[in-house]
Structure 1
Amino acid sequence: MAEKDLEKLPDDLFTNNDVQSFSWLDINVTVKDRKSKEPLTILDSCSGYAQAGQLVALMGPSGSGKTTLLNVLANRSQSPWTGYTKVNSRSIGRKELREISGYVEQDDALVGSLTVRETIDFSAKLALNGLTKGARQAMTDSLIAAFGLRQQENTVIGTPIRKGISGGQKRRVSVASQLVASPKVLFLDEPTSGLDSAASYEVMKLVSDIAKKHHLIIIASIHQPSTTTFELFDSLLLLSRGRTCYFGPVRNVTTYFDQVAPIPVLTNPAEFLLDLVNTDFDASERLQTKADLVTVQSHWRSSEAYHSLQSGLAKSEYAASATLPATDTRTGQPVRLDLPFILLHRNWIKSYRDLLTYGTRIAMYTGLAILMGTVWLRLDYVQSSIQPFVNALFFGGAFMSFMAVAYVPSIIEDLQTLKKEHANGLYGPLSFMVANFLIGIPWLLLITLIFSVITYWLSNFRVAADGFWLWVLWLFLDLLAAESLVVLISAIVPIFVVALAAIAFANGLWMSVGGFLVPMDTLNVFWKYVFHYIDYQAYVFQAMMVNQFKKTTYSCERLGGSEYYCMYPSDLQADGKIRGTAVLEAYKYSYEDGKMWEWFGIMLGIIVGYRLLGYLALWVRTRGF
């Protein structure tokens, strides 16, 4: 990246950057081993520090604890830990740290259907309150230019069915999306993972230059960088089995290890060190050195570099000239009522660009409508068609609900985005849930209308305007409840296969206890009183039964002369007809005026209940990050 590109970043992008030092002292993480149930040490007395303008590397073999340490430093660890993290010589809490820091995860949790410009712009909208549109666009333009993304600014990030930008460009977008919030400390988890040597250097060179130009503190976990990338870092913390093997300037690495295990000339120092402290293999045979991990770690404890670390920590503790203000520019602001609408706008763009969100579901439901309409094609109003009508009503409501499982991939992607952005302090589960519910309404209504226009008239349901629109209303409520159930289960278990299986099981349960497959007077009392009355499919089926049969009549079979055989006796039997209400009475469904609106209220309660439970599940899950 050319030096002139960095000049495109505004000088006031990181205003009031009064964080001069970040230090961590005696960080310990111990968990219970899943197999042996014995205590397992992940981190053991790790200490270090970083000054403004420095790029610090956390390096070590797989399982060394570097990602755990990074999460502890960013106050995102799911495991209990002891020790201290300090900014400008004083301890700092989770909320305060997140207000001055940003975190770029190893996996780019970006919305694939947004363009590069939209991604950075939405990050600015979410992070910065009260910024004018012109100022926000100027900041976005500056970041796009500085990160060399001008040619890709209108290219989408990329989805499973639509190619987008490259891996290196995604990394740059991820970093730019965090920098737009003006952090003082930036944590990067494996920022070069999956990138080739050239792309890794490009990303880290830009990050290093920004740190120095704007006096940021950047701490990155990194695995096996190239020599040129490794030399971009100012300091290195080398870990193995949770213990420190070296902490100090990168430029001193070769000199330091000359006393333990000399690094051969023309050898990548990072690669050599990772091999040296890797306990999964015998380093002595590969590296032709007699040093082992115990030797390396014991030498560290007695080295001059160790004493320099203690001296550096002391300076960080007592000699920091600046003090971190009690509040940040984002602290103490009023509750942001605009957040759900910003998320709604972003969700709207995703919903019509990403075919996996609603496009695929529209195609699925259209296919189901054609299938249903042609199978139950133009049913006559004779008694032999009564059961097919009933079957069609059950099939339509039940499978409309069941096929909501197609929403699982999209909602899980959204939940991953929520996890990342909530951890960065942008918004909470309430804003997410409100936006998610609102964006579904127009699309589910469209799906309902497409399905109804095709199916209702092909199958010859009750020919009346009120009959059609009541059908639409109940199918719409059916889809709202089904999607709310998908959101609830996915919020509890955001794992694709598990969520899919749980939702399929729930739909199977609702079909079984709804009152069609097993009549209510036969259904086991446990299933009836525990599950039937909270089964939204049951209310949809009852309401559609009343809509179809309350105002219709059906012809009976003539036995000969003036006698008729009617399957459902009614006051019209002498005329060779069956009143539709007789069918409802046989199914023990109430059809008096006002009953349907009682069911309508129950349906709204179920939908709201699912959403509230979904919010509660997200609130519990997001408390840990």
Structure 2
Amino acid sequence: MPSPVNDVEKASLGDYAHLNNDTVHSYSWENVKVTVKDRETKQPKDILSNVTGFVQAGEIIALMGPSGSGKTTLLNVLAQRDATSNAQVEKSLRVNGSTTSYQNFRKISSFVEQEDALLGALTVEETLYFSARLALPRTIPKAERIAWIEGLISAFGLRRQARDLIGTPIRKGISGGQKRRVSVASQLITSPKILFLDEPTSGLDSAASHEVMSFIRDVAKNNKLLVIASIHQPSTATFELFDKLLLLSQGRTVYNGLVSGVTQYFADLGYPTPMYMNPAEYIIDLVNTDFIQNQDEAQRRLEHLQSSWKKSEQYEAISKEISETSSHRSSRDAGVPQEKANSLMIPLTLIHRSLIKSYRDVVAYGIRIGMYVCLAILMGTVWLRLKPDQNNIQAFTNAIFFGGAFMSFMAVAYIPSFLEDRSLFIKERANGLYGPLSFMVANFIIGIPFLFLITILFSVISYWLTNFNPTGGSFWNWVLFLFLDLLAAESLVVLVSSAAPVFVIALAVTAFANGLWMSVGGFMVAPKDLNVFWRYWAHYSDYQSWVFQGMMVGEFKDRTYSCGNGCRCMFSSPLEQQCQVAGTAVLQQYGYGNDERGMWVGILISIVIAYRLIGLAIMYVKKK
């Protein structure tokens, strides 16, 4: 297959090697061991045992093995990520023959996740543009950034798709293979020297897999990039694109050497590859013991393969390469880690990116706006033009509860959008671009205008249709508390989704929390009648209760209601002799005797801040 990187594109990539001043000639690992506690026996169990390897700049090594062999765990260890939960890890990792700090390692390496964590509402060009804004220092001129981005787009064969959307559930975008190329290209923005790929061909057919790996191979060769990829049963053509293979089974090495020599190696051990069979498929089946009936025989064969590797010439060659590299290491090889982007500009970049998403992503924003408008019309027509008489006092109260509680409940529609943003954040955080604080600040700021727009649209329709207190002050009081209601509800979604980043779980927990807040908010049971247990911990911490109070005071404090024919007033008030009910009498029934709206607003703001801070703390603790 001809190289997809022509001479002009090579120059574009090569001219920007100065973006990262580190020079990486080799990367090695010795005696990597990962131990966990077995769930059944409760005894220590090795999921990786004494794995050693060596790869040089410009080479691509494949980590292969059957399911459960430890290849993903090994990839995480080599990328200096968490191997697995509650694991004990022993490792010796060296760049250019010497150890390097975690901070410096993150600056010279990038990790491409198995799932394409991309924003579907952005174009290919915009995706790379924002990756550059987040990763590159401000000292690099804009013209150089653009040239670097265009060089990557051309190098990965994406020129024709540069202005195409990545794709959303509503709007079709680029193909799966093109998405994978965009994922890799976005990680090459900072010109990393070590690139880790987790199943880069997962979900792709053989043609798309070969296409993706061809581009990666060409970029690696032309830019002396060191690539380590976990991969599962590639086609013959894709398999031959790799330079080296590290084959694992049950956490131990079975082969580690050139791909071109793997068939001969196993043939010499008495396991020749059948004619016309994919070598990669054959060796995976050879070391897979899961589906063999005679487990004793399968285990003996595996032990023979593992022990043969320890005695092989390839093992000796790798040990010698590691030893020679370590003895000839030079302090000059460590280089100077590249300068990072201005931390003060990162939230602004995230806000800019979210703004583009907000007006393009129909699912995240357009459908939600339509849903809230429909809810406003529903509310306004159900409680249509209520007359200010005592028979409608309960209807007004019901409408206030509905407007606040159900608008809050519908914030669950934000969960999918937040989870998409969070998955991108997890990827970018793992690659050292920014931390949870920048993400949370940007997420909060970008939500404010959108929630205010929803508040205005809902209020303009529902408030006047329902015929709430027809004064400007009461209307803006409603807008204020409804806005704080939505702000708190969305902050709750962020908190829950940060703690449980699975859609179904986040949906269930958020819905339950909203049901609890509705029950203790003061409408179902008046606060003065609520039992002590629920009142002191739930009612006072319930943002909906403060919203309900604020809206009730806005409606009833300065409004009067007719007692109707016969002048039999349902509420005792000073206006009873005038055949009217003062709204303050209604407030007294709920225990809202004093107008303390300033304090209530302060409490709501405090609840919003508390939700965000707890969510931020969770993000700092959780790395996935």
Give the TM-score of the pair, scaled to structure 1.
Answer: 0.95
Match of 1:570 in 2: 573
Match of 1:93 in 2: 101
Secondary structure of residue in 2 paired with 1:255: helix
TM superposition shift of 1:591: 3.4
TM superposition shift of 1:581: 0.8
Q: Does 1:156 align with 2:165?
A: yes
Contact 1:18–1:322 (8 Å) recurs in 2: no
Q: CA RMSD in A?
A: 1.9
Alignment of 1:551-570 (within 5 A): 551-559=558-566, 564-570=567-573
> Which of 192, 206, 223 is the equivalent residue of 1:214?
223
The whole-number CA distance in structure 1 between the counterparts of 2:602 and 2:241 is: 63
TM superposition shift of 1:352: 1.1
Secondary structure of residue in 2 paired with 1:395: helix
TM superposition shift of 1:213: 1.2
Alignment of 1:446-485 (within 5 A): 446-485=453-492
Q: Which one-letter code corresponds to 1:11 in the other structure? A: G
Q: Is there any run of 5+ residues in structure 1 with no aligned partner, and where?
A: none
Deviations, residues 387-423 of structure 1 (Å, cap 9, x unaligned): 1001110111000100000000110111111100000
TM superposition shift of 1:205: 1.6
Contact 1:405–1:504 (8 Å) recurs in 2: yes
Match of 2:112 in 1: 104
Distance verdict in 2 for CA 1:290–1:450, change over 3 Å: closer
TM superposition shift of 1:284: 9.5
Which deviates further from its counterpart, 206-215 or 66-75?
Answer: 206-215
Q: Does 1:445 align with 2:452?
A: yes
TM superposition shift of 1:249: 1.2
Q: Does 1:620 align with 2:611?
A: no
Secondary structure of residue in 1 paired with 2:256: strand
TM superposition shift of 1:321: 5.2
> Which of 6, 9, 17 is the equivalent residue of 2:12?
9
Q: Which one-letter code corresponds to 2:281 in the other structure? A: E
Secondary structure of residue in 2 paired with 1:521: helix
Match of 1:45 in 2: 50
Q: Which one-letter code corresponds to 2:131 in the other structure? A: S
TM superposition shift of 1:612: 1.1
Contact 2:60–2:244 (8 Å) recurs in 1: yes
The whole-number CA distance in structure 2 between the counterparts of 1:354 and 1:34 is: 43
Alignment of 1:48-447 (within 5 A): 48-77=53-82, 78=84, 79-130=87-138, 131-260=140-269, 261-282=271-292, 292-320=301-329, 323-325=332-334, 327-330=336-339, 336-447=343-454
Contact 2:33–2:89 (8 Å) recurs in 1: yes
The whole-number CA distance in structure 2 between the counterparts of 1:374 and 1:266 is: 72
Contact 2:64–2:230 (8 Å) recurs in 1: yes
Distance verdict in 2 for CA 1:147–1:449, change over 3 Å: same
The whole-number CA distance in structure 2 between the counterparts of 1:436 and 1:3 is: 38
The whole-number CA distance in structure 1 between the counterparts of 2:305 and 2:115 is: 32
The whole-number CA distance in structure 2 between the counterparts of 1:289 and 1:267 is: 21
The whole-number CA distance in structure 2 between the counterparts of 1:459 and 1:266 is: 76
Q: Which one-letter code corresponds to 1:612 in the other structure? A: L
Match of 2:544 in 1: 537
The whole-number CA distance in structure 1 between the counterparts of 2:486 and 2:272 is: 67
Secondary structure of residue in 2 paired with 1:248: strand
Distance verdict in 2 for CA 1:327–1:590, change over 3 Å: farther
Secondary structure of residue in 2 paired with 1:313: helix
The whole-number CA distance in structure 2 between the counterparts of 1:612 and 1:436 is: 13
TM superposition shift of 1:146: 1.1
Contact 1:17–1:215 (8 Å) recurs in 2: no
Contact 1:484–1:610 (8 Å) recurs in 2: yes
Q: Does 1:608 align with 2:585?
A: no
TM superposition shift of 1:157: 0.6
Aligned residues: 613
The whole-number CA distance in structure 2 between the counterparts of 1:294 and 1:48 is: 20
Deviations, residues 171-217 of structure 1 (Å, cap 9, x unaligned): 11011001111101000111111112222112112211211111111
The whole-number CA distance in structure 1 between the counterparts of 2:132 and 2:562 is: 67
The whole-number CA distance in structure 2 between the counterparts of 1:392 and 1:254 is: 75
Contact 1:14–1:183 (8 Å) recurs in 2: no
Which deviates further from its counterpart, 193-202 or 488-497?
Answer: 193-202
The whole-number CA distance in structure 2 between the counterparts of 1:289 and 1:619 is: 45
Contact 2:13–2:223 (8 Å) recurs in 1: no
TM superposition shift of 1:112: 0.8
Distance verdict in 2 for CA 1:520–1:463, change over 3 Å: same
Q: Which one-letter code corresponds to 1:428 in the other structure? A: G
TM superposition shift of 1:8: 5.2
Contact 2:384–2:465 (8 Å) recurs in 1: yes
Deviations, residues 519-551 of structure 1 (Å, cap 9, x unaligned): 122211011011111111011110111100111
Deviations, residues 45-90 of structure 1 (Å, cap 9, x unaligned): 0000111111111111111111110000001124331111110111
Distance verdict in 2 for CA 1:318–1:265, change over 3 Å: farther
Deviations, residues 330-362 of structure 1 (Å, cap 9, x unaligned): 26x7x6100000000001111111112121111
Q: Which one-letter code corresponds to 1:89 in the other structure? A: G
Contact 1:70–1:189 (8 Å) recurs in 2: yes
The whole-number CA distance in structure 2 between the counterparts of 1:330 and 1:26 is: 33
The whole-number CA distance in structure 2 between the counterparts of 1:464 and 1:546 is: 13
Which deviates further from its counterpart, 292-301 or 2-11?
Answer: 2-11
Q: Which one-letter code corresponds to 1:552 in the other structure? A: R
Give the TM-score of the pair, scaled to structure 2.
Answer: 0.95
The whole-number CA distance in structure 2 between the counterparts of 1:316 and 1:283 is: 45
Q: Which one-letter code corresponds to 2:431 in the other structure? A: N
Which deviates further from its counterpart, 309-318 or 601-610?
Answer: 309-318
The whole-number CA distance in structure 2 between the counterparts of 1:370 and 1:315 is: 76
The whole-number CA distance in structure 2 between the counterparts of 1:497 and 1:320 is: 51
Secondary structure of residue in 2 paired with 1:247: strand
The whole-number CA distance in structure 1 between the counterparts of 2:361 and 2:76 is: 32
Which deviates further from its counterpart, 146-155 or 295-304?
Answer: 295-304
The whole-number CA distance in structure 1 between the counterparts of 2:382 and 2:39 is: 54
TM superposition shift of 1:303: 1.6
The whole-number CA distance in structure 1 between the counterparts of 2:127 and 2:42 is: 44
Contact 2:98–2:329 (8 Å) recurs in 1: no
Match of 1:512 in 2: 519
